[in-house]
Amino acid sequence: MSNETSSFKQVWPLIINEIKHTLEDISSNDIQILVQNLIKAKNIFVAGTGRSGLVIRCFAMRMMQLGLKTYVVGETNSPAIKSGDLLLIGSGSGTTNNLVNYANRAVAAKARLALITTASDSPITKLAEIIILISAPTPKSSNKNNLSHQLSHQPMATLFEQVLGIILDGCVMLLMEQLEETEEEMFRRHANLE
């Protein structure tokens, strides 16, 4: 974008185009592997920090509404992770210290580890069994040359966070179909202490 003042009608097509091109590079097979592992997991744990963490928390809410036992790592009601459980981490860089620690602990507990990231070579990527790579820039990633990252007009890791949310919403739709869950059934599990 130029330094001239832009209107919203000029920027939203850029955003949609970036998201579209990034999603076109996502492996449908990798998504299906993640969905199958979510179905098989005894308990699902999710973790992320910053804006990625907010997106992951939205996904945890939908998993609960699907009737799956889901916990946000670090919350007071999160139990011990064990064999048969799955930890899903959303991390653009794959290097955030507390997330690396969670990944190491999950692997030590013999839980499965899934990662959605931009980093094809990071500490968490090396531990994960299930990896979904998003070709988007993030300022914290030290290995930008390992993926042909799409350039973005949006600041920092915004494109990664947007695509992370769409991937997880897509997983919800696939899970609804495979678990034969309806929106009405999910809404019955929606929080009612509002």
Pairing of strands 70-72, 86-90: unpaired
Annotated active-site residue 183? The verdict is no
Question: How far is 35 from 39, CA to CA, in rounded Å?
Answer: 6
Which residue of the set 75, 161, 177, 181 is catalytic? 161
Give the closest residue to 127 by CA, choosing from 97, 146, 109, 106: 106
DSSP bridge pairs for 130: 114
Question: How far is 34 from 176, CA to CA, in rounded Å?
Answer: 14
Question: How far is 152 from 115, CA to CA, in rounded Å?
Answer: 22
Active site residues: 161
